[in-house]
Structure 1
């Protein structure tokens, strides 16, 4: 499903303010504890000859779950391919504009992985009969088969189960923040937990599919509607 411009704007606006606030609201950045294994380093990607596939020129042709799965849990499936590789981006981008944006974004992120979500926030809300107050916790993916349990602190439904936001924190980490925005089945989210070294942002691809990215909080600040900015660390 290619989100309409209005849909993209709605989803972006749901998360933009919370994401920007979160990056600067949590100043402590401690070493990653032994309980969380950091992802392996990724080799630099050469992009000089990258160009979009002709299939991306057809907006009506969208391949759902286009990459093979490497790891699975009850809630998520993590794909095997390096989603920073231009050849892989050709298979997952909807159109040439998104292809170019993702290629340019490579210089501002550490990792990107396509993750499939088997239990989305709208599904969880349906399970509790649409009673937002009954949603107390949920699982969000980290990279490479890891998951993060989120304690829900607030839920706002804007159009029933069609759109809304869920806010919370990593379980047991009061110096953390998590925000999920959803619109027409698509989700975007961020997880920021300095004590765990977690700085994750996920962009919606299709319902149940997200581009999960590990970022450097000193260099990357999300802006509305999928654009990004490089920021200088203040000392």
Structure 2
């Protein structure tokens, strides 16, 4: 079983608290569908699991230069991350095929449906690759919320600061009734929105019905994204109403 390099030190630095550990199946194929706030997410999630987990991660994590870049690449390899070419096309298809093959072995496969880190801590529209994996594999999907990793290491910060981090696991979702429909784009969008809604319920995040990569690119270009927030907010995935009791989880007492 692969373990995170420096796992004991990470536990000491971030003292992760967990809610819903009983929701993680003890055996069989599982898709961990998580929000994505920080590079830390892929390092800390494996620390609280008894089973091994393999991730999909952007190829840039493996191509960093200097000491920090090499450390990041080493960590990514240490947690079993599969690099993804985010330019799309055959490269991304190959990564999803790799994930499907891994699930067929009965393992846990981690994926960030938003496709990139949230630029501002909000939850963004999910990409449908997670739905394809769930439908084709028949694996249970466990919604996961990483809490506070964006505070410990926001985008642009090279080294994280030690602080307590939370991980919340929601109840497993099954999409067996959709078997054979993995090429139906309407089904894929429905299933993806169902998964994102479950993530929102366990994370307590505000939802924006736009792709994180789009918003991030506009922010990096110095553009005003307030119109996107105004038009795409105040709702939940699948155009559901925002849950009345939505709140960010806190450490158990």
Q: TM-score, normalised by structure 2?
A: 0.26
- Indicate the structure with greater helix content: 2
- Indicate the structure with greater strand content: 1
